[in-house]
Chain A
Amino acid sequence: MLLLCGTFAFCACQKDRVPSKDATLDGQTVDVSFISTSAQKLFVLNEGGMGSNNSTLDFLRFKDGKFVNGAFKKMNPDVATGLGDVGNDIAIHGEEAWIVVNNSGIVEVISAYDETEIAAIPVPTPRNIAFDNNYAYVTSWAGAFINYGADYSVMDFKNPKGQVYRINLTTKKVEGSVEVGYQPEGIAYYDGKLYVANSGGIASQLPPTYSYDNTVSIINSASFKVEDTVEVQVNLKNVYSDGKGNIYVTSLGNYYDIHSGLYVVFASAASSQKTGHIADYVSVSAPCGDTVYCIGTDSEFDWSGTPHTYSAWSVTGRTKKALSWTITEATPYGLGVLDADTYFVGDAGDYFNPGTVTCYYKGAKRWSVTAGVCPGHFALY
């Protein structure tokens, strides 16, 4: 009892000095002495397994080197459902962290400061998120329903195209959607336009054509209409803007004769010469400043179970640079880059049990901690 009181007093005291309510969350202690950053936290979103409702949010607190597991549940005990089923994307906007919970149909907005819930916004099968000054834009596979609201108007439900929903940043309400390609994935905003990678991951399995999408849809954010569609490569995945007019797009390839790779879309070029190929082999990727970092393997079509050897490279502008990074993971699942020397790799392990997050500094492994199931997405606050 005495101990409890003591703890409570300590908490109360902490609260006064450090208002963030999550400061008392304890976690695995790691060495952060070599990390130089002005950021407070590195969020790690663990996807969980589909149908298992076990997506979790972890974070690394730079101040005291604590890696906290399951922060959403700890800070929101009244949200009994937890974060939900398949956390597919996380992005920071101002003081808010926006988490896209795919199979829950929810875009969860929390305080990036203390992880408390601000809003849970329903969006059908949401995938990825980007922002401009007024809206959050969320890609969605649920193209059978063009209008969001009480009355869905059903379009082609045999092989529906996807949508981009926009959410008012102030009201946290959905304000319409626009149709893009098949199974849109990544999305990025640059200079009044949204760039959407269409994968066709489901369309590739559906009759009659059984084909992947290979386009980037370009949406004018002011009119919220698709103003151009550019062919890039099959099965597109992530989109990053370098803020200088280069839009980088990754392709997963077709797992047979088209390798995964990184492509670029030039924001200012005429439609006919809008794209270029940078390099093959991208398993995971992450942006940092104006640079995109990629980890890939040239044995990606080997399904025999032989461990793959991964190598890393980066792209700035149109220049590819090989990196002397060590990758010890057997199944790298997520990448977070803090600066050119410091990066984090999420390892999904067997995709069923909790995975790990490993910190590397100047090419060497520094430490590894247990995360949640499928640690796939990083965001810096």
Chain B
Amino acid sequence: MAQEADTLMAAQVYSVQVYPVTRAVEEAFLPALVTAPTQVADVLRRFTGVQVKDYGGVGGLKTVNVRSLGSEHVGIFLDGIQIDNAQNMQVDLGRFSVDGLEAVSLYNGQKSLRLQSAKEYATGAAVYLRTEAPRENGLRLRLRAGSFGTVNPSVRWNRELGKVQLRVGAEFTASNGKYKYPYFDTTLVRENGDISSLRLETQLFGKTRGGQWQTHLYSYGSERGFPGPVIRRATGFPFSAERQADQDLFFQGSWQQDWSGRYATALRFKYANNYTHYNTHPEKNPMALPYDLHFRQQSAYLSLAQSYVLMDPWSVDLSTDYQYNALDSDVGQFVRPRRNTLTAALASRLAWPGFRLAAHLVYQGTWDQFDERQAGGWSRENAFRGVWMPSFSIFYAPWRWLEADAFVKRSYRLPSFNDLYYSLMGNSSLEAEQAFQTGLDLRMKWGTGPWKESLRLSPYYNRVSNKIVAIPTSSQFRWTMLNLGLVDVTGLDARSETTWEQGDWALTIVLRYSLQQALDHSTPGSQIWGNQTPYVPLHSGSIDLQMGWRDWTLAWNTSLCGERWSRSAHTADYYLAPWSLSDASLSYHWKELCAGIHLRNIFNQHYALVQGYPMPGFNGMVSLEYNW
């Protein structure tokens, strides 16, 4: 698909600058997915090399970890602008709906696209969420409903206003989160796992001569309960009464302009305001610690990317980003951290159609400020952190049936506000955590007549050093964060896709396999040295089957996960058995109408991605969509 686009654009001047140097390692086009995932996490969990941590249910936290780098190293970008969280460096993917998105893609190395922001160069791995391109006037209504009292209506309205395209979207989700789970030798129903959320967004798209711009106003409000881990609890006491309310708001925009054919710029901005109210409700739960906390995080972001074609096909890019983060809270001894981050990236690219070469150098400097507080443990000496991140990418397509790209990259993830400044925990002298990555992607494709076959093999090696870990001090109640961890990751991702199309019939089979050895090399001589790190399966994979006949589409997915341990110590208590999970979907298109039925965990398997947080058994959903 991308190859065709390449040819199409070849007529334009400097066209080879329009595509990334390396290809996405995985890309999912959402309108084509009939399996109807409602959350971005459901799309990502099938990608090779990706582990999704999921605490279960619609409202449970979902984070993504790529090739054992740690979720803090994975940048999540919405239309090229990062969704960031300075408080804990983790983005809850459960909050991002696939509604309104066109594609989700994953890059392990550098995407290295012309006019990228500096922050795009500065993450270990990058997940790109792309909203749908502007469309013709129309209204789309969708209603989904299913197990656990889940209702999910959404509406999207596209309108052309002169030269400007407007899109307004709204989505409501409610679920009672009640599902059966094995509680030791009996079965209980998950309580206090309900959620309701409302997402409202407005997007504007416009064109200038030689350029385009877009803005995005996004608000997300939710109220949810946390059911808590499965533990022994005295009869009569609830497991949890914890509730959290969130109000997230952001306004972002970008303007890309080609000034002369040689020189082009991209301007991006964002303001985000996230408010969280967390309450353990001790009046409802005698086991609760009486916390009633409020957090407000604000960030402002401005980015300018410039690209200049020195001599076709050689171009250089300079991207400069500035970001401000602030966190306020009524937590005891809170020091109200503020952070200024300047990121600058210099990229140089040589891009012929069959051969592309790119070198990048990123500098990121952060300056933290915080209030003086009595509790101490924080020093101002290390408030400034500066890191250099070099990387190289190469792409080579010697024959039509073979493509290869390779990368080597060093990146850092900054310590979060929690790592540095949290009461009785933070350590302000932490350094940034370092990731060294190198990988190779080999892609082959062939086919005759109705058959098409493609195969990708991706061996890789990562080393995460100076890993930030929590360590107890002389008192069990006062911990500290230290740069102590070291993990070596060696792996192989493989993906095969077979398609067959004839007459009214279409068939796609995608097979994925991941081999991942992530070994703890933190403390030589320790009991756990050389052990596989928690939650990483050595083997995992999936089988995707999609079959179409006229207006009918049937899809089947089976995911497989090998044995895991929830601790580095591989004892029986921390063993997590292998599991397999199968989903199926059937959908039917009739003129403007689309109806579907989606069955998940068909064989009602009991499994958990995180020990103590059981996932739902068999469940289903129906969906109905109408387009005017």
Residues of A within 8 A of B (CB): 51-54, 80-85, 101, 103-106, 120, 122-125, 141-142, 144-145, 152, 154, 157-160, 201-202, 204-207, 210, 252-257, 260, 283, 296-297, 299-301, 303-305, 308, 331, 333, 348-354, 370, 376
Contact partners of B482 in chain A: CB under 8 A: 305
Contact status A348-B472, CB under 8 Å: yes
Contact partners of A52 in chain B: CB under 8 A: 229, 231, 611-612
Q: Given contacts A85-B231, A122-B235, A207-B330, are A105 and B424 in contact (CB under 8 A)?
A: no
When C-beta atoms are compared, the residue in chain A nearest to B375 turns out to be A256
Contact partners of A142 in chain B: CB under 8 A: 282, 286-287
Contact status A252-B475, CB under 8 Å: yes
Contact partners of A376 in chain B: CB under 8 A: 476
Contact partners of A144 in chain B: CB under 8 A: 282-283, 286, 290
When C-beta atoms are compared, the residue in chain B nearest to A376 turns out to be B476
Contact status B480-A353, CB under 8 Å: no
Contact partners of B331 in chain A: CB under 8 A: 205
* Cβ-defined partner of B377 (8 Å) among A255, A296, A331, A348: A255
A-B residue pair count with CB separations less than 8 angstroms? 157
Asked if B332 is at the interface of the complex by the 8 Å CB criterion, the answer is: yes
Q: Given contacts A255-B478, A305-B480, are A206 and B290 in contact (CB under 8 A)?
A: yes
* Cβ-defined partner of A105 (8 Å) among B287, B292, B478, B573: B287
Contact partners of B231 in chain A: CB under 8 A: 51-53, 81, 84-85, 103-104
* Cβ-defined partner of B477 (8 Å) among A152, A252, A303: A252
Contact partners of A105 in chain B: CB under 8 A: 233-234, 237, 286-287
Contact status A296-B286, CB under 8 Å: no
Contact status B237-A303, CB under 8 Å: no
State A352–B330 Cα separation when bound (angstroms): 29
Contact partners of B569 in chain A: CB under 8 A: 353-354
Question: Could you jot down 25 A-B contacts, CB within 8 Å?
Answer: A51-B229, A84-B233, A101-B232, A104-B232, A104-B234, A122-B235, A122-B236, A125-B287, A157-B282, A202-B291, A205-B333, A207-B330, A210-B333, A252-B475, A254-B375, A255-B424, A256-B374, A256-B377, A260-B475, A299-B474, A300-B475, A301-B376, A348-B476, A350-B469, A354-B571
* Cβ-defined partner of A283 (8 Å) among B289, B423, B475: B475
Contact partners of B185 in chain A: CB under 8 A: 80
When C-beta atoms are compared, the residue in chain B nearest to A121 turns out to be B234
4 closest A-B pairs by beta carbon, nearest first, are A205-B332, A124-B286, A122-B234, A84-B232
Question: Which of A103, A301, A353 has the most C-beta atoms of chain B within 10 angstroms of its own C-beta?
Answer: A353
State A157–B571 Cα separation when bound (angstroms): 40
Give the contacts of B514-543 with A (CB-CB under 8 A): 526-528
Contact partners of B576 in chain A: CB under 8 A: none
* Cβ-defined partner of B567 (8 Å) among A303, A304, A353: A353
CB distance from B477 to the nearest CB of A (A): 6
CB distance from A351 to the nearest CB of B (A): 5
Contact status A125-B286, CB under 8 Å: yes
Question: Which of B290, B480, B611 has the most C-beta atoms of chain A within 10 angstroms of its own C-beta?
Answer: B290
* Cβ-defined partner of A305 (8 Å) among B232, B477, B484: B484
CB distance from A172 to the nearest CB of B (A): 13
Contact status B286-A206, CB under 8 Å: no
When C-beta atoms are compared, the residue in chain A nearest to B569 turns out to be A353
Question: Which of B230, B289, B424, B526 has the most C-beta atoms of chain A within 10 angstroms of its own C-beta?
Answer: B289
Give the contacts of B219-238 with A (CB-CB under 8 A): 228-237
The interface bits of chain B over 481-500 (1 if a CB of A lies within 8 angstroms of the residue's CB, else 0) are 01010000000000000000
Contact status B474-A296, CB under 8 Å: yes
Contact status B292-A158, CB under 8 Å: yes
Give the contacts of B324-360 with A (CB-CB under 8 A): 330-333
The interface bits of chain B over 372-408 (1 if a CB of A lies within 8 angstroms of the residue's CB, else 0) are 0011110000000000000000000000000000000
Asked if B427 is at the interface of the complex by the 8 Å CB criterion, the answer is: yes
CB distance from B145 to the nearest CB of A (A): 33
Contact status A51-B612, CB under 8 Å: yes
Contact partners of A141 in chain B: CB under 8 A: 289
When C-beta atoms are compared, the residue in chain B nearest to A202 turns out to be B289
Question: Which of A120, A141, A303, A304 has the most C-beta atoms of chain B within 10 angstroms of its own C-beta?
Answer: A303
Contact status A205-B423, CB under 8 Å: yes
State A158–B281 Cα separation when bound (angstroms): 9
Contact partners of B184 in chain A: CB under 8 A: 80-81
Asked if B418 is at the interface of the complex by the 8 Å CB criterion, the answer is: no
Contact partners of A125 in chain B: CB under 8 A: 286-287, 289
State A103–B527 Cα separation when bound (angstroms): 28
Contact status A308-B474, CB under 8 Å: yes
CB distance from A102 to the nearest CB of B (A): 9
Contact status B330-A303, CB under 8 Å: no
* Cβ-defined partner of A83 (8 Å) among B232, B282, B571: B232
Contact partners of A256 in chain B: CB under 8 A: 374-377
Contact partners of A205 in chain B: CB under 8 A: 291, 331-333, 423
Contact partners of A206 in chain B: CB under 8 A: 290-292, 332
State A297–B471 Cα separation when bound (angstroms): 17
State A80–B184 Cα separation when bound (angstroms): 6
* Cβ-defined partner of A353 (8 Å) among B230, B282, B290, B528: B528
Contact status B290-A122, CB under 8 Å: no
* Cβ-defined partner of A53 (8 Å) among B229, B235, B291, B476: B229
State A283–B423 Cα separation when bound (angstroms): 20
Asked if B87 is at the interface of the complex by the 8 Å CB criterion, the answer is: no
Contact status B290-A160, CB under 8 Å: yes
Asked if B568 is at the interface of the complex by the 8 Å CB criterion, the answer is: yes
The interface bits of chain B over 418-430 (1 if a CB of A lies within 8 angstroms of the residue's CB, else 0) are 0000011001010
Asked if B473 is at the interface of the complex by the 8 Å CB criterion, the answer is: yes
State A204–B290 Cα separation when bound (angstroms): 12
CB distance from A176 to the nearest CB of B (A): 15
When C-beta atoms are compared, the residue in chain A nearest to B429 turns out to be A304
State A207–B334 Cα separation when bound (angstroms): 11
Contact partners of B290 in chain A: CB under 8 A: 144, 157-160, 202, 206
CB distance from B239 to the nearest CB of A (A): 10
Contact partners of A349 in chain B: CB under 8 A: 526-527
CB distance from A138 to the nearest CB of B (A): 13
State A349–B236 Cα separation when bound (angstroms): 35
When C-beta atoms are compared, the residue in chain A nearest to B528 turns out to be A353
CB distance from A159 to the nearest CB of B (A): 6
Contact partners of A254 in chain B: CB under 8 A: 375
CB distance from A163 to the nearest CB of B (A): 10
Question: Which of A54, A283, A351, A376 has the most C-beta atoms of chain B within 10 angstroms of its own C-beta?
Answer: A54
State A205–B422 Cα separation when bound (angstroms): 11
Contact status B377-A352, CB under 8 Å: no
Contact status A300-B473, CB under 8 Å: yes
Contact partners of A299 in chain B: CB under 8 A: 474
When C-beta atoms are compared, the residue in chain B nearest to A85 turns out to be B231
State A207–B333 Cα separation when bound (angstroms): 10
CB distance from A249 to the nearest CB of B (A): 16
Contact partners of B476 in chain A: CB under 8 A: 333, 348, 351, 376
